[in-house]
Chain A
Amino acid sequence: MHNLTIKQMSEKLHSGEITSVQLTQHYLDRISQYDGDLNAFVTVTPELALSMAEAADQKIAAGDAELLTGIPIAHKDIFCTDGIKTSCGSKMLDNFIAPYDAHVVTLLKKIGMPILGKTNMDEFAMGSSSESSYYGPTKNPWDHKAVPGGSSGGSAAVIAAGLAPLATGTDTGGSVRQPASFCGITGIKPTYGAVSRFGIIAYASSFDQAGPLTRSAEDSAWMLNAMAGFDERDSTSLEREKTDYTAELGQSLKGLKIGVPAEYFGAGLDPEVETVIRTAITEVEKLGGEVVEVHLPNKDLAVPAYYVLAPAEASANLSRYDGVRFGYRCDQPQDLEDLYKRSRSEGFGEEVKRRIMVGAYALSAGYYDAYYVKAQQLRRMVRDDFTKAFESCDVIMGPVAPTSAFNIGEKSDDQVSMYLNDLYTIPVNLAGLPALSVPAGFANNRPVGLHIVGPYFSEAKLLNIGHQFQQITDWHKQMPAQYQ
């Protein structure tokens, strides 16, 4: 059952061949069989999942169902879920149960998608390996020595291992696409503002954007249809007409101008990854695409700009975790200052504390202009690079990450090297553009994703390119042997 596409699953549910309860139970069984080792879930919610599945079956029987009704889902533990712990991968929120649902959760609940549980992640989404979670690292289903990527590593691993058909993720600097690449699955970060941030625990508000993690581009299109749309509770939500992200699936790629930036293939890129990406681009050419050379001259400014701006926003976003109203509170505080200092020192992990300090420093008196203001200027330069590039191409293709998945522990002591793993994904977040990662092969026996970046609101086009690519390749159908 876990090898079906979402559309096939839906057809079987609607025809009565299977029930949502059976489908949900199938995934719950796989979770109990595999997750002990994989550690992809922070919380599994079998009773809730099955009761939601029963309700979904009734909905289907009543003829009141949508395509995704009855299809179970796993939510990254950054989406607030009414009545279920939302930890954000942190000791700080280990005891936090939100009395509300994130907007995305509300939408998917309404459709009738049983919630299997909440997936592991880097603490407060700060990381590229899911190792910074308070709940321990998630393993890469393709190789348990490897990281699944991050921060949505739990969601990516769950999809790769077939422990859920669909999962939500968030992408602040590559947190959907990089784990999708590392785990050999499909993930899309939509245009900033396409999906409501309401109820998603904030890391860096001007970058955070939720997206689906799925087995195929087609699955992502269906799921994005359900997740996206204007929400008046998020002031940065885009007030646009509802988009059908499946609308372009099936269109020919003839004449598609593929921008390939020379800057993407320089030093630091693993040669095996380069081979995979160049081969994949050749495949798209076979579908009618034409490669054009484009330039993103300010690409190298993106990571430094991001590591000023995102921590700056985070330093304020995470101030609310002070031990006063919710979350972790230190034992026996002596006074207010002691309460603040110890609750935050003990409740946050190292990487979170590092970014809060970096961010507070960048905003502090005397440094604001040199760091924060400068970084905003770089952000505009990076965005302008893309605008210029899209004058001569329809989409930009390249690697998602310079390497395939690295080993657990390999980069733990070298944060800069970890940060540089996001050099291809971060510019896209700085610009707020949509971008897709689709599995395109293997490097060093670990999966590699092809990165497809488009202009604002080009999600339907990106998903069709991924879909067409997946019509002539079968990377997305492959599963690690032990999980088949």
Chain B
Amino acid sequence: MSWEVVIGLEIHAQLTTKSKIFSGASTAYGAAPNSQACAIDAGMPGMLPVLNHAVLGKSIMLGLALDAELGMRSVFDRKNYFYPDSPKGYQTTQMDFPIVGQGKLEIELEDGRKKVIGVTRAHLEEDAGKSVHGIVPGQTGIDLNRSGTALLEIVSDPDMSSAKEAVAYAKKMHELVQYLGICDGNMQEGSFRVDSNVSVRRPGEPLGTRAELKNINSFKFIEKAIEIEIERQIELIESGGKVVQETRLYDSEKDVTRSMRTKEEANDYRYFPCPDLLPVIITEADVEAVRVVMPELPDAKRARFVSEFNLSDYDAAVLTGSRAMAEFFEKVVALTDAKDPKLCANWATSGFSAALNRDGLSIENAPVSAEMLAGMISRLIDNSISGKIAKQVFDAMWQGEGSADEIIESKGLKQITDTGAIEALVDEVLANNPDQVEAYKGGQEKMMGYFVGQIMKASGGQANPGQVNKLLMTKLKS
């Protein structure tokens, strides 16, 4: 008998605010322990939270992008539990009245079909600190730097029915929050955390008991963890067992999930409205103010790249994979007067991206800027250099040897377009290879490639390949 898989995701996206959600302390990552926790973040007696209003615009923006109902009046609640990294003994979050209500996100499945995933809600909350083990032997340290960092918890409907769908949704959300500029998306630093609620059931039966998979910081491992959790649940039920509601951790080394805590041990969180904070009221004007500064969303950008620049769906998808890449590409196109967007796309997605990946760099700190790449592509467009030379020029730019023009000039790489000069080269090569000429004339047309190679070699790669081809044909046919 077959099984149906039901998956819902809870995503914690750390908002890109300079200071914390309820205090003025910095949110920069990686500082010395407790150097970025003020008395409010440490839950000191008498300290009070004051909402950082920067979180509101970012939340509204996500709400608009998800076509969601906005919580025009949202309320902060206290979620009570004791834990060493939760300094107040409660987390300030939103329970009954979240800032973003029901919305949706469309994902594309592997076979190209689209599926709409419901987004139940997104609410604002503060992050906890961290327990640090191993600094003092036998004791646990507490680092409160992260305490009070602003999070949006984005909760999906249980609409996904495979690990692949879940990952497609997570990736889409990951791309979206970065596009919107509300989250840096850094999964290693914990800026984007995905918790998966997984359950299985027989078709037509009510929802099964779910297990929650927490703290997995890569899409690859999320997919694997969900897959083995599905297998575990099916095997368990088929062998007569019962799934218990619990939190499970994924061990990527052993490729298993194991129980972290069961529901019986879980807290009664005793939520109630936080009396230190007033309800948050959003006006239509606030929403309008966000709407006018909304960046173009990935799907819209993708469609526009196909229609405006005549790119393939694939290229458009690759270029819009991140907002930074899409903006880089558009800048290169603009700087080359949109003469050859396809060429710009090729360079952005292959040469440039390959170099980034090879050196582990991001667009912002790449040695080749959009201006520099555009400068080189302009020389390709005006036939000053060939594609092959361009690779050489690009590598030199990447090494910091200057702009394309400077490199072409200093290395003498300008393409030979002088017909006389090329003709001389053609004649020379044909004269030196009489046997091959015979073979060609005898029907071996592949010899053409050999001649072109020899001529290009003789020119030091600088002969214009188009002209070489044309002249060769003329000479050989004469």
**A contact set with B: CB distance below 8 Å:** 80, 86, 88, 93, 96, 98-100, 102, 197-202, 204-206, 232-236, 312-313, 315-316, 318-320, 322, 324-326, 336, 340, 360, 363-365, 368, 372
Chain B residues near A233 (CB-CB < 8 A): 48, 50
Chain B residues near A201 (CB-CB < 8 A): 45-46
A427 to B182, CA, bound (A): 45
Question: Of A88, A99, A316, which is within 8 A of B90 by CB?
Answer: A316
Chain A residues near B270 (CB-CB < 8 A): 315-316, 360, 363-365, 368
The secondary-structure label for the interface of chain B is: loop
> In this assembly, does B303 line the interface, its C-beta being within 8 Å of a C-beta of chain A?
no
A316 to B49, CA, bound (A): 14
Determine how close the nearest CB of chain B comes to the CB of A118; give it in whole angstroms.
13
CB distance A88 to B45 under 8 Å?
yes
Chain A residues near B46 (CB-CB < 8 A): 80, 86, 98, 100, 102, 197-202
Chain A residues near B43 (CB-CB < 8 A): 320, 325
A236 to B89, CA, bound (A): 21
Question: Of A232, A320, A364, which is within 8 A of B268 by CB?
Answer: A364
B267-309 near A? 1/0 per residue, CB < 8 Å: 0101110011110000000000000000000000000000000
A401 to B42, CA, bound (A): 39
Chain A residues near B276 (CB-CB < 8 A): 202, 205, 235-236
> In this assembly, does B87 line the interface, its C-beta being within 8 Å of a C-beta of chain A?
yes
For B84, B268, B270, B276, the residue with the greatest tally of chain A CB atoms inside 10 Å of its CB is: B270
CB distance B272 to A312 under 8 Å?
yes
Chain B residues near A318 (CB-CB < 8 A): 89
B142: nearest chain-A partner, CB-CB: A324
Chain B residues near A96 (CB-CB < 8 A): 45
Chain A residues near B44 (CB-CB < 8 A): 98, 100, 320, 325-326
**B contact set with A: CB distance below 8 Å:** 39, 42-51, 78, 80, 82, 84, 87-90, 142, 268, 270-272, 275-278
A360 to B270, CA, bound (A): 7
Also in contact, A235 and B39, with CB within 8 A (given A206-B275, A363-B270): no
A339: nearest chain-B partner, CB-CB: B84
A311 to B80, CA, bound (A): 14
Closest 9 CB pairs of A and B: A319-B89, A363-B270, A206-B275, A205-B275, A199-B46, A320-B43, A201-B45, A80-B46, A365-B268
Chain B residues near A86 (CB-CB < 8 A): 45-46
Determine how close the nearest CB of chain A comes to the CB of B211; give it in whole angstroms.
21
A207 to B39, CA, bound (A): 23
Chain A residues near B268 (CB-CB < 8 A): 364-365
A93: nearest chain-B partner, CB-CB: B45
Determine how close the nearest CB of chain B comes to the CB of A12; give it in whole angstroms.
35
B79: nearest chain-A partner, CB-CB: A316
Determine how close the nearest CB of chain B comes to the CB of A30; give it in whole angstroms.
29
A96: nearest chain-B partner, CB-CB: B45
Question: Of B80, B271, B278, which is within 8 A of A236 by CB?
Answer: B278
A363 to B275, CA, bound (A): 14
13 contacts between A and B (CB under 8 A): A102-B46, A202-B46, A204-B275, A232-B50, A233-B48, A233-B50, A235-B276, A313-B275, A316-B88, A316-B270, A320-B43, A363-B80, A364-B270
Determine how close the nearest CB of chain B comes to the CB of A478; give it in whole angstroms.
35
Chain B residues near A204 (CB-CB < 8 A): 275
A96 to B272, CA, bound (A): 28
CB distance A319 to B80 under 8 Å?
yes
Chain A residues near B80 (CB-CB < 8 A): 315-316, 319, 360, 363
CB distance B48 to A316 under 8 Å?
no
A151 to B47, CA, bound (A): 21
Chain A residues near B82 (CB-CB < 8 A): 319, 322, 340
Chain A residues near B142 (CB-CB < 8 A): 324-325
CB distance A319 to B88 under 8 Å?
yes
CB distance B89 to A235 under 8 Å?
no
Chain A residues near B275 (CB-CB < 8 A): 204-206, 236, 313
CB distance A322 to B50 under 8 Å?
no
A102 to B277, CA, bound (A): 18
CB distance A234 to B48 under 8 Å?
yes
A199 to B84, CA, bound (A): 23
A372 to B271, CA, bound (A): 11
For A93, A232, A372, the residue with the greatest tally of chain B CB atoms inside 10 Å of its CB is: A372
